Amino acid sequence: MKSLLNHKFTGSIKVPGDKSITHRALMMSSLAEGTSTIKSPLESDDTFRTSEIMSQLGVSITNEAGMITVTSPGAENLKTPGDILYTGNSGTTTRLLMGLLAGLGINATMEGDSSIAIRPMDRVSGPLGEMGADISLKDGKYPPIKIKPGMLNAIEYNMPVASAQVKSAILFAGLFADGETIVHEQFKSRDHTETMLKQFGVDIMVEGLTVKLQGGQSLKPRDVLVPGDISSAAFLMVLAAITEGSDILIEDVSLNETRAGIIDVFRQMNADIEVNKTSSEGEAIGNIRVKHSENLSSFELSGDIIPRLIDEIPVLAVLGAFGSSPSVIKDAKELRFKETDRLRAVIDELSKFGIRFEEFDDGFIVHPITEIKLTDNDFKGYHDHRIIMMLLVMGIAAGKDINIDDPSAISVSYPGFLEDLEQLKQAR
Ligand SMILES: O=C(O)C1=C[C@@H](OP(=O)(O)O)[C@@H](O)[C@H](O)C1
Ligand SMILES: C=C(OP(=O)(O)O)C(=O)O
């Protein structure tokens, strides 16, 4: 499908800092007695929630010119918060802090917005309960989450779903548990917690799909450099690949293998992509250049690649629609438990452009778009940042001005998205 656009997107850009890494850096610096710094963090609604909560626990956090300074009295001296801890729209804040607060033995109640209120939390309270944590949930499953102090024992846990949030919550609790905590994954989920715990001086062992950690270790302060977020870069990568004349260079972005599944997909699609790693110490970092390609083919994704691109699937549906034959996503049922049911949202909203889908319980087939015909110009963003940015990319590629009910949730992960699009936009 040729795009109807009269402009292209060119130039170099840095996307905002990685959301997963920023959350973890704020949490781990708050456990390490002394002063740590976080350079180029993501400054967005979700990371603000984590920062606010760490402050409520007695940590001093200041932010000046793209550098956060965290001064902590140490894990044992964090205090019981006076108020409810509000996690907003952030699943990562909510789930990781369940493990951390249970480990710290802090009495607290956490709740978030209306989307967090219907995201399952029993996947975390289950294993934490096995460790001895006292956590109660509404209807046994949802926030508000009430955590009471208690002694924890280490467990050996087989993860039923690929989830870095569950794995990280168990590892955080394991830091304070008696004995060795062992987590086995079926598919490898993002490993930022493991990498960063090592950087903060924790002895943690990673062997294939198994992570082991001895309780009773303390963290030492350090300086963290946050690379750009490949999940944010994904929107620009897809835009460049599908709009004629485009050529975008994204600099200093995370190339962590457990996050970089989208690069494999671009290669599978015969997209024009160049990747140049500039550092592989700790978190891999580098540059990604994507040019428009006339000859995108298709992709078939299932199994272990899914956790490596889980948040990119909405925008990959757009890429698939510009391929020469149908593309397939399977084993992605987890998308139904994100900020909204993302499989439903992708199919319902992209169908309004005339894109044809076949839906499965755990994925979809997206057919190549042959003609863009808007059946409805009123789009729903479901207050989900990834769905809204997906729609904006599709709208641009289609050369249509679309109405999205409420685009404000972009600020959950990429507050400057519209400005970055403006900066890259050129007349053709
Ligand atoms: O640990 C993290 O930082 C995240 C893990 C993923 O969720 P799951 O753990 O539910 O797969 C991902 O979708 C989310 O955006 C961030
Ligand atoms: C699912 C996401 O985040 P969280 O789980 O932290 O809300 C996301 O950023 O796409």
- For residue 384, give the ligand nearest its CA: 2
Ligand 1 pocket, Cβ-based, cut-off 6 angstroms = 20, 92, 163-165, 168, 189-190, 310-311, 334
Question: Is residue 246 part of an annotated ligand binding site?
Answer: no
CA of 95 to the centre of ligand 1 (A): 9
Q: Which residues contact 320 (CB under 8 A, 6 or more apart)?
A: 298, 299, 326, 327, 366
Question: Is residue 165 part of an annotated ligand binding site?
Answer: yes
Ligand 2 pocket, Cβ-based, cut-off 6 angstroms = 19, 46, 90-92, 311, 338-339, 386, 413
Pick the CATH number of 7-16+227-427 from 3.30.930.10, 3.20.20.70, 3.40.47.10, 3.65.10.10: 3.65.10.10
- For residue 345, give the ligand nearest its CA: 2
The residues of the chain that CATH labels 3.65.10.10 are 7-16+227-427, 19-225
C-beta of residue 26 within 8 angstroms of C-beta of residue 47: yes
Q: Output the tens digit of pLDDT for each of the chain's 428 residues.
A: 444 577 899 999 999 999 999 999 999 999 999 999 999 999 999 999 999 999 999 999 999 989 999 999 999 999 999 999 999 999 999 999 999 999 999 999 999 999 999 999 999 999 999 999 999 999 999 999 999 999 999 999 999 999 999 999 999 999 999 999 999 999 999 999 999 999 999 999 999 999 999 999 999 999 999 999 999 999 999 999 999 999 999 999 999 999 999 999 999 999 999 999 999 889 999 999 999 999 999 999 999 999 999 999 999 999 999 999 999 999 999 999 999 999 999 999 999 999 999 999 999 999 999 998 898 999 999 999 999 999 999 999 999 989 999 999 999 999 999 999 999 999 87
Q: Give helix 19-31 / helix 91-104 axis angle, nearest 10°.
A: 20
Specify the ligand 2 atom closest to the Cα of 165. 5
From CA 257, how far away is CA 265, in angstroms rounded? 13
Q: Which two tokens stand for residue 171?
A: 């590892």
Torsion of Cα atoms, 297 then 298 then 303 then 307, to 10°: 90
Pocket probe for ligand 2: among 42, 53, 92, the residue whose CB has the most ligand atoms within 8 Å is 92
Q: 3-class SS at 151? A: coil
C-beta of residue 119 within 8 angstroms of C-beta of residue 87: no
Specify the ligand 1 atom closest to the Cα of 310. 13
Specify the ligand 2 atom closest to the Cα of 46. 6
Strand partners, 225: 39
Q: Which two tokens stand for residue 128?
A: 């934490």
Which residue type is seen at 412?
A: V
Candidate list 45, 46, 272, 311, residue with the active-site label: 311
- Tell me 1's DSSP state: -
First to last CA, the chain: 18
Whether 223 is catalytic is no
Question: Is residue 179 part of an annotated ligand binding site?
Answer: no
Taking the domain 19-225, which CATH number applies? 3.65.10.10
